Amino acid sequence: MSFFGFVIAALFMVVVAPVWIVFHYITQWRAQRGLTAQDERLLAELWEIANRLEGRIQSLERVLDSEAPNWRDKT
């Protein structure tokens, strides 16, 4: 009977335990893969800043186009 117990324990340690551990960490990784609420707020703030900067650049280009039409050719 002790040999049968040893075989069962060996199979558990060699097959079941590693698969169990791998699936556990895969599940943990998938749960943490999404953005946190703080990350989402930061991303929204950065998006808003980028949109404002884009508007400023477009305004500056319109002013430069009207006051110095050849400014793009000077680079």
Range of the domain at 18: 1-34
Q: Are 67 and 55 within one domain?
A: yes
Q: Are 29 and 61 within one domain?
A: no
Q: Are 30 and 44 within one domain?
A: no
- Residue 64 near residue 71 (C-beta atoms within 8 A): yes
Question: What tens digit of pLDDT does each residue of 19-47 get?
Answer: 999 999 999 998 888 888 899 999 999 99
Question: What tens digit of pLDDT does each residue of 42-71 get?
Answer: 999 999 999 999 999 999 999 999 999 888
Q: Are 43 and 23 within one domain?
A: no
- Residues in Cβ contact with 71 at an 8 Å cutoff, skipping those fewer than 6 apart: 64, 65
Q: How many domains does the chain have?
A: 2
Alpha-helical segments (H) within the chain: 2-11, 17-32, 37-67
63 CB burial (10 A radius; 0-12, 13-18, 19+): exposed
pTM: 0.54
Q: Are 30 and 40 within one domain?
A: no
